[in-house]
Structures are given as C-alpha cells and as structure tokens.
Amino acid sequence: MTDDTTYETTRDSAGPAVPAGAAGVFGERLPLAIRYVEFLGTAGLERGLMGPRERPRLWDRHVLNSAAAASALGVGEAIVDIGSGAGLPGIPLALARPDLRLTLVEPLLRRVTFLEEIIDELGIEVRVVRGRAEEKGIIATAGDADVVTSRAVAPLAKLAGWSAPLLRVGGRMVALKGESAADEVERDRAALAKLDFDGLRVETVAAPDAEPTRLVIGTLATRMGHRGSRSRGGGRRGR
C-alpha cells in the first residue's frame, strides 16, 4: 500500500485531490475510497447520479461527509440505507466501518445497477435491494434493522414514516441533514412523536477535511404489532 504522504498529494483523473484526512477515516481501505470517488466522478456523472458541479466536492461534501455518520453507529450493527442513490451514505460507511452490516435500498434500476457495479469492483460485503422503503417486500427483506440511515431523501416527517417499519424496537433513525436540521426537528416533532420516536436530537459531527454533518437521531420506542397493538422494548427479534 502506498504511504499516506503520496495520497495527500495525489490528484486522481476523475476528481479532486485526496484530502490528507481521508487516510484517518478509511485507513487501509483508502484505496477503495479513492476508487469509489473515481466512480462517482466518471460513471456517476455520466449516468446523472451526481451533478457536474459536485465533482470538485466529492470528497468533502459527499464521501467524507457521509463517513462522519459512523460515529453514531455501534459495533456490528445492521444498517439499512434508504434511497441510497449513488451509495451515499451507505458506501462510505461500509468502507470506513467494515464491521457494519449494510443494506442499500434503492427503487431505480439504473441506480441499483450502479451500486452493484461499485460493490463488485470494490469487493465489499454490502447488500443492495431494489424497491421503496415503505413496500411490504422491502420491510420483510430488510426490516428489523438497528439503524436506518438516509441522506437528502425527503422531509423529516416522511422520512421517519419510512424508517419506522424497518427498525427493531429500540432501533434508531440516523438522518443526514443540512443546516436546517434543527428547524426540521421542531417543525416535525409532533409527527415523529406519533410514530413513537423518542429522544429526538440533532448531533453535528465532522470528518477531517470535510463539511460538518448534521445527524437527526431518534429512537423507536414502540412499534405497531401485527394485530394493531403496540409493543415496547429494546431487544431485537431472533434473526
């Protein structure tokens, strides 16, 4: 593996220079993160998954920004990333935290194809499921998760409605939001309370050489049972 100094000064053919801080985030998987950024800067742009103006910001605004959410995730947790698109935040989380069990949920075929190509190229263990988060088949396949993540997918209330059925009781929604995160929480607090999300809060985290990431975090306290009754508890069902 090439040393960190080389990575700090290298400019790949498809995007910006690799930030010095990326080595601390991805460790020995830094070459895979570089390859992912190359994918975003070539196939991602060609297939319309990333805008051309985002090319200079692939590291700080997208990849490192997404990886910063790893600080809110426990060891070995099952993560479902809904509306994964070009793989954000799911792919950076998988690269930064190989202990996590990642499932990417994406409804559009062209994006699913892109994700599968990336996963195959990088040789990482990440599952891709095609469909919408609210579909019964997706809930059956990817549900009972410890954490549901998302990034730039929908307003918070709608996002919480999609996340709740995919979570185990005691599981967490971790939504990556912009500067208006606190305003969204206040606006949608009542809607999230109806879904039985407790401990709603905003945490600001940051990876080196990246924009701050605002995480909206809520814990699912109860869930509607199969007969319409609510169940409570923090344990997970048998897998």
Model pTM score: 0.87
Q: What is the pLDDT of residues 112-153, one digit of tens each?
A: 999 999 999 999 999 999 999 999 999 999 999 999 999 989
Is residue 8 included in any domain, yes or no?
no
Is residue 204 included in any domain, yes or no?
yes
Q: Where are the alpha helices (H) located in the chain, listed in sequence order?
A: 4-9, 22-26, 30-39, 45-46, 64-67, 90-96, 109-122, 136-142, 156-163, 181-194
- Flag whether 116 is marked binding: no
- Flag whether 110 is marked binding: no
Antiparallel, parallel or unpaired: β 101-106 and 197-205: unpaired
pLDDT tops 90 at residue 232: no
The whole-number pLDDT of residue 2 equals 37
Antiparallel, parallel or unpaired: β 145-151 and 167-177: parallel
- Flag whether 45 is marked binding: no
Residue of higher predicted confidence among 211 and 186: 186
Is residue 237 included in any domain, yes or no?
no
pLDDT tops 50 at residue 10: no
Q: What is the pLDDT of residues 26-35, one digit of tens each?
A: 999 999 999 9
**Strands of 37-100, DSSP E:** 78-82
pLDDT tops 60 at residue 214: yes
Structure tokens at 50: 């990333």
The whole-number pLDDT of residue 203 equals 96
Structure tokens at 219: 């814990």
Q: HSE (CB half, 13 Å, CA atoms) of 175?
A: 32
Residue 17 three-state SS: strand
Is residue 132 included in any domain, yes or no?
yes
User: 41 with 15: CB under 8 angstroms?
Assistant: yes
d(CA 57, CA 60): 6
Is residue 118 included in any domain, yes or no?
yes
What residues does 181 pair with on adjacent strands? none
Counted domains in the chain: 1
- Flag whether 38 is marked binding: no
Write down the mean pLDDT value for the chain.
Answer: 88
Please, what is the Cα angle at 226 between 132 and 144, to 5 degrees?
Answer: 50
> Residue 124 belongs to a domain with what CATH number?
3.40.50.150
Is residue 163 included in any domain, yes or no?
yes
Q: Which helix (H) or strand (E) holds 63?
A: none
Is residue 10 included in any domain, yes or no?
no
What residues does 216 pair with on adjacent strands? 175, 202
pLDDT tops 70 at residue 13: no
Domain range for residue 210? 59-232
Q: What is the pLDDT of residues 143-201, one digit of tens each?
A: 999 999 999 899 999 999 999 999 999 999 999 999 999 999 999 999 999 999 999 99
Average pLDDT over every residue of 80-106? 97
- Flag whether 230 is marked binding: no
Is residue 84 included in any domain, yes or no?
yes
d(CA 161, CA 209): 33
The whole-number pLDDT of residue 211 equals 87
